[in-house]
Amino acid sequence: MVQSFKMIVNSIPVVIRNGTIFKSNGDEPIPDGELHIVDGIISYVGPAHKSPNEDDSNHLIIDAQGGTILPGLIESHFHATYFNVESLEDLDIKYPVEYVTLLASQNAACALEHGYTSARSGGSLFNIDVWLKKAIAEEVARGPRLTASGREICGVGGLMDWNPDYRKIGMDGLVLLVNGPTEATAAVRKLVKDGVEWIKTYPTGDAASPDLNDHHTLCMTLEEMQAVVLTAHNHNLKVTGHCRATKGIKNALLAGFDSIEHGSFMDDETMDLLLERNVPVVPALYFEMASIIHGSDFGLSQLVIDGHQETLDAGTASAQRIIREGGRLGMGGDYGFAWNPHGNYAKELTFFVNHVGLSVEQTLVCATRTGAEIIGVADTLGTLEIGKIADILVVNGDVLEDISLIEDKKNLLAIIQNGIIKAGTLNNDN
């Protein structure tokens, strides 16, 4: 699937200098690097002493202040419409679509301000993502280049179907509930008409729902998942799913999913299948940690917290093994819950370095190049190379030494989309 992101392009050439450049393409970092942008496209990236001589007076000069110059970050599991809810039920019934849209726009701006120039949605209330994407692309709203999902697909009685029938509350704004492959096909067709790019499904439950749909429970059948993939791929859409239980991950791989969200409990057979197909996984592990640390403040039961611990342990082991055996991970954090709110996006990166054991460089590649691969835009985004779109993050300080610098937006000097400074402490609009 080829996506086009049309955005306004800066006509003033830009030079970024006085920083270490991390290209995220496997090359060594470039100390005292320089990067040039013409018409929103990178025209030079390399050592300052080899750069083409430019007349500074015709350029916008960005001084990286001895810090780090990276590709703009990509949040691979973003929920613009999850408004820092204290309980899952709030997603469905608390606000009407009008208000959730405003909150989603604010969350998108928040992600941009924290260094994220692209994001792939992990599911959306109503059909907000599709229109938020358009608003961002046309500069009506600020935010990451958004790859849109829509309402999420789940089996009746599964993780996202929590209202018992006596309440007479549907789940219309949040999920399309299906019984059997025919209804699964119908749900995808509805989303095709909505204009989404990714189909988000719920093959399994989660520790958040310990009674009926815990992390070892299946919420869709293989046949339903196959119907989703067949219909989605026919319309050039991609499919992902919330996959914790081993059997659910395996079914998703057998059905032909394009990515796996979480991939928590994996046995040898499932891991082999994943690596054979080279399907990327977005673990979202800091969410589990945040649920363990802060859950009791928000009324999560000990049973739920214990389930998150089990999920974290298994998810960490799976992520470590995927990297060790040459697989791909995207960085996305499922932010939008009260205990894991918007703005904390880069905590996922620090967590992968400090607790999962990836190097800073590996983690940054996951958060940039692999993110672009997942979205399907690796030919234009995700690394700093000549000819690519100039989506760039300039950080005050040595990120390769301390990745947690990215967590604090006060350290972000410039967040650049298409060669235009959109946020950061150097942004004149701040």
Q: Residue 196 — φ and ψ, nearest 5°?
A: -75, 165
Q: CB nearer to Zn ion: give 122 or 283.
A: 122
Q: Which residue is nearest to Zn ion (CB)?
A: 122
Q: CB nearer to Zn ion: give 19 or 283.
A: 283
Q: CB nearer to Zn ion: give 125 or 130.
A: 125
Q: How many CB atoms lie within 10 A of CB 29?
A: 17
CB of 122 to Zn ion, least distance (A): 4
CB of 12 to Zn ion, least distance (A): 39
For 249-397, strand residue ranges (E) read: 260-262, 281-282, 392-395
Separation between Cα atoms, residue 19 and residue 395, nearest integer Å: 9
For 48-101, strand residue ranges (E) read: 60-71, 73-78
Separation between Cα atoms, residue 379 and residue 394, nearest integer Å: 22
- The pair of structure tokens assigned to 194 is 């909505």
CB of 49 to Zn ion, least distance (A): 46
Q: CB nearer to Zn ion: give 20 or 340.
A: 340
* 371: exposed, middle or buried (Cβ count in 10 Å: 0-12, 13-18, 19+): buried
CB of 116 to Zn ion, least distance (A): 16
CB of 252 to Zn ion, least distance (A): 15
CB of 386 to Zn ion, least distance (A): 35
Q: CB nearer to Zn ion: give 122 or 263.
A: 122
CB of 63 to Zn ion, least distance (A): 38
Q: CB nearer to Zn ion: give 184 or 284.
A: 284
CB of 326 to Zn ion, least distance (A): 26
Residue by residue, DSSP assigns 385-421 as: -TTSB--EEEESS-TTT-GGGGGSGGGEEEEEETTEE
For Zn ion, the binding residues (CB under 5 A) are 122, 334
CB of 55 to Zn ion, least distance (A): 49
Q: Which residues contact 156 (CB under 8 A, 6 or more apart)?
A: 177, 178, 179
Best CA proximity match to 372, nearest among 119, 131, 114, 191 = 119
Place of tokens 């209804």: 183
Distance set, CA 265 to CA 42, 212, 283, 294, 370 (Å): 41, 18, 11, 23, 22
DSSP β-bridge partners for residue 238: 198
CB of 197 to Zn ion, least distance (A): 16
Separation between Cα atoms, residue 158 and residue 170, nearest integer Å: 14
CB of 287 to Zn ion, least distance (A): 8
Best CA proximity match to 80, nearest among 58, 100, 97, 54 = 100
Separation between Cα atoms, residue 245 and residue 86, nearest integer Å: 25
Separation between Cα atoms, residue 228 and residue 256, nearest integer Å: 10
Q: Which residues contact 199 (CB under 8 A, 6 or more apart)?
A: 149, 150, 153, 188, 191, 228, 232, 237, 238, 239, 240
Q: CB nearer to Zn ion: give 197 or 391.
A: 197
Separation between Cα atoms, residue 423 and residue 430, nearest integer Å: 7
* Bridge-based pairing state of the strands 145-147 and 116-121: parallel
